[in-house]
Amino acid sequence: MDDNCTAQCEMPRYVCHKEVHALKIERIEFDIAKEDGDRETDGSATIFPAEKSYAPFKVGHEYVRKHNPKAGGYYVVYADGYESWSPADAFESGYTLM
């Protein structure tokens, strides 16, 4: 870093060029305690994609805890298999459908 740079200096800029698999999330059903009794919960969630040709699928509690996914955002899978979540604005400004 330049010794003359202060807190006002702009950080280096990068452009993303990754390919990912992603589905926009229409809704999420979290496996949390409900008023229907003493049923065990596992902290997982079922994601319902906005694209109707894709079936709902379950993600584990680790994914839910780490990414806190929300409807309207994207479920993202990178080339190495890493699963993530991205807010719609950030995803749509950085990726274009191939």
Q: How many domains does the chain have?
A: 1
Residue 15 placed within a domain? no
Domain that holds residue 63: 20-32+41-94
**Residue 1 is assigned to a structural domain of this protein:** no
Tens digit of each residue's pLDDT (9 = 90 or more) over 1-41: 456 676 788 888 888 889 999 999 999 999 876 655 666 77
Q: Is residue 69 part of a domain?
A: yes
Query: What would the pLDDT profile of 35-62 be if each residue is shown by its tens digit?
Result: 556 667 788 999 999 999 999 999 999 9
Which domain CATH number covers 74? 2.40.50
Contact 23, 75 (CB under 8 A): yes
Would you state the structure tokens that stand for residue 40, as one six-digit string?
Answer: 């065990």
The pTM score is 0.81
Q: Which of these, 18, 30, 13, lies nearest to 86 by C-alpha position?
A: 18
The answer to whether residue 14 is domain-embedded is: no
Token pair, residue 85, equals 């979540």
